[in-house]
Structure 1
């Protein structure tokens, strides 16, 4: 009977077996952290031998990189797919950010791996994270530029300003995922709406020529 079971496992296509390993590994890395996670546990939960994990994915770092690339690819695809639907630039940005927060809410293990662990590890892992971030940043900056260009006051801001707003939006979205953990009743759409109101409306006021400057404080009066 065990031979039959082993035969079934061997007959699975490599790509399917590899995805099973990655499914398990994402959960284990999220639960235990990179350093505490063991390849033995991942192999056992995936129903494969430890040597097979190394044969397919080379090393523990290779396994983590496979998790990182697959989950970051899913996140980027979700954002870009939503942001490329029809409508104005701000509506597409709203759709993309909503998809981002929906991914984070629906794939907590993936986000723990991407957001909380990857930046603390090797250069290869950090580079994979940076590549995914650049893909999202490029899309956001393009939408911001389109929004500025379509505005009647678009001559007030340029590419550098669009890049600045894009970094502010992506940075805020990243940090808000920790806030989301403490506010599980907040929907992805509601979070996105609040973020858009804070950042997009602020940019709109700048396009209208408003600017905040610190006001000089009055000198303290000497005590009599």
Structure 2
């Protein structure tokens, strides 16, 4: 078997074990058995348990970012771009539950350097959403009417809400990707639409 294919086989097995057990409880013996190889071969190819977990984080992060970016057509209206990005996000997390568990749950509690890897992924997604909100402001007003900090804050809120909603939707809720995306659009875009049109909420 070619080396790249063998490594993919091992990482697939590792992802299943890490996704179900977490980093600390996972064992290299179980990963090797699931991959159908010897434990020394896993160490030979992927060095250590820490390196293997890091490789899984990087692979799944790249796949998630690629899915979100690939799902957005820049020729569409801004609300459709956000809808397409959310749908791609929720579809990917639903179809890759072990990958999402590693990224959203286990990597965050595994300590450094795993947290740094996930933080970098999240920052890239936030930057992408920030650009969508900035474009919405520019199209609504001709020039961005929202302060840069406010745009960044809105992007952080949207990404945080999407992460929380994915955890709920992929659990026992039985919610489809389209339903999850619609829930967040109904919650967020109505407010964003008012904001783009200069209608801000304020305490009475």
Say whether the fold is shared (TM-score over 0.5). Answer: yes
TM-score normalised according to structure 2 size: 0.93
Instruction: Specify the alignment match of 2:119 in structure 1.
Output: 130
- Distance in 1, matches of 2:43 and 2:132, equals 42
Q: Does 1:73 align with 2:62?
A: yes
- Distance in 2, matches of 1:133 and 1:121, equals 16
Instruction: Specify the alignment match of 1:182 in structure 2.
Output: 172
- Distance in 2, matches of 1:209 and 1:140, equals 20
Q: Does 1:139 align with 2:114?
A: no
Instruction: Specify the alignment match of 2:184 in structure 1.
Output: 195
Structure 1 residue 27: Cα displacement: 0.5
Aligned CA distance change for structure 1 residues 154 and 203 (closer, same or farther; 3 Å): farther
Q: What value does the CA root-mean-square deviation take over the aligned residues?
A: 1.6
Q: Give the counterpart of 1:108 among 97, 100, 117.
A: 97
Instruction: Specify the alignment match of 2:47 in structure 1.
Output: 58
Instruction: Specify the alignment match of 2:71 in structure 1.
Output: 82
Q: Is the 8 A contact 1:18 1:56 kept in 2?
A: yes
Q: Is the 8 A contact 2:78 2:135 kept in 1?
A: yes
- Distance in 1, matches of 2:43 and 2:49, equals 8
Provide runs of 4+ in structure 1 moved above 4 Å: none
Residue segments in structure 2 that go unaligned for 5+ positions in a row: none
RCO higher in structure (CA 8 A, sep ≥6) = 2
- Distance in 1, matches of 2:46 and 2:111, equals 16
Instruction: Specify the alignment match of 2:28 in structure 1.
Output: 39
Aligned CA distance change for structure 1 residues 159 and 48 (closer, same or farther; 3 Å): same
Number of aligned residues = 203
Q: Give the counterpart of 1:119 among 108, 116, 122.
A: 108
Instruction: Specify the alignment match of 1:4 in structure 2.
Output: none
Residue segments in structure 1 that go unaligned for 5+ positions in a row: 1-11, 216-224
Structure 1 residue 211: Cα displacement: 3.2
Q: Is the 8 A contact 2:136 2:196 kept in 1?
A: no
Higher-Rg structure is 1
Q: Give the counterpart of 1:27 among 16, 19, 29.
A: 16
Q: Is the 8 A contact 2:71 2:88 kept in 1?
A: yes
- Distance in 2, matches of 1:149 and 1:155, equals 4
- Distance in 1, matches of 2:99 and 2:33, equals 20
Structure 1 residue 133: Cα displacement: 0.8
Q: Is the 8 A contact 1:153 1:208 kept in 2?
A: no
Structure 1 residue 58: Cα displacement: 1.2
